[in-house]
Amino acid sequence: MFTSVRVSGDSMLPALRPGDCLLVRRTAKIRPGDVVIARIPGNLIVKRVFRWTDEGWWLESDNQQAPGRRDSWDFGAIPQDRIVGKVVGRYWPSLALGPRFLAR
């Protein structure tokens, strides 16, 4: 099963940019180095998996200097049941490009 999310914020630069659309596989096996979507109270976050701990997955931002970035350094490890899925691709919606092509 798949879902999609759109990136907001700079915490995953340079790998992911604000506005990128991500394809997320809900049932994928997660390993260190993967990029995942996780639930924190009131929000979804996209982070890189660093390691498994007794409390859950330790997730980190690629850009530790990003204003307002939040990751496991702030809230600790994320339990497995709060991992939405693994990012398996990035895409750009055709609707965003369509009008530019039609205008030319």
List Cα–Cα distances, 40 to 14, 67, 70, 90, in angstroms.
23, 18, 10, 22
Amino acid 67: pLDDT: 93
Domain range enclosing 98 = 2-103
CATH code at position 67:
2.10.109.10
DSSP 11-25: TTTTTS-TT-EEEEE
pLDDT in tens, the chain (104 residues): 999 999 999 999 999 999 999 999 999 999 999 999 999 998 999 999 999 999 999 999 999 999 999 999 999 999 999 999 999 999 877 655 544 434 44
Put simply, whether the predicted model's pTM sits higher than 0.75 gets the answer yes
Residue 65 DSSP label: T
C-beta separation of 73 from 60 below 8 A: yes
Say how many domains are in the chain.
1
Longest dimension (CA), the chain: 56
Amino acid 94: pLDDT: 64
